[in-house]
Amino acid sequence: MENQSKEIMSDEKASDLLGKLTNDLDLSIIEEFIKDNKTEFKHNGKEYRCRLINLSEKEELNELRKKKYSSLMQQKDKEGNFVNLTIEKWKEVYKAQGINIDELEKKLKSLQQEKIMLDLKLGQDIANNSPISLQKETKDKIEQIKLQIQILNIKKSDLMEYSIENQLIIFVSEVIAYLSLEVKNGSEWAKAFNSFEDFKKCIDEELIKKIAIRSLLLQIC
Whether residue 24 is predicted with pLDDT greater than 70 in this model: the reply is: no
Strand order in the sheet with 181-185: 38-43, 46-51, 181-185, 188-191
Percent of the chain scoring above 90 in pLDDT: 62
Task: Indicate the burial class of 192 (C-beta count within 10 angstroms; 0-12, 13-18, 19 or more).
Answer: buried
Give the residue from 118, 134, 161 where a domain finishes. 161
Same domain, 71 and 126: no
**This prediction's pTM:** 0.74
In a domain, 27, yes or no: no
50 beta partners: 39, 181
Give the CB-side neighbour count of residue 40, counting CA atoms within 13 A. 8
Residue 29 in domain: no
Domain count, the chain: 2
Gap between the Cα atoms of 149 and 115, Å rounded: 10
Parent domain of 72: 37-81+173-221
Q: Mind listing the pLDDT tens digit for each residue in 49-99?
A: 888 888 999 999 999 999 999 999 999 999 998 999 999 999 999 999 999
DSSP letter at 86 equals: -
End-to-end alpha carbon distance in the chain: 41
- 101 vs 159: CA distance, rounded Å: 9
Give yes or no for a contact between 209 and 24, defined as CB atoms under 8 angstroms apart: yes
Same domain, 156 and 92: yes
Q: In sequence order, what DSSP letters do the residues of 47-59 get, joined into one string?
A: EEEEE---HHHHH
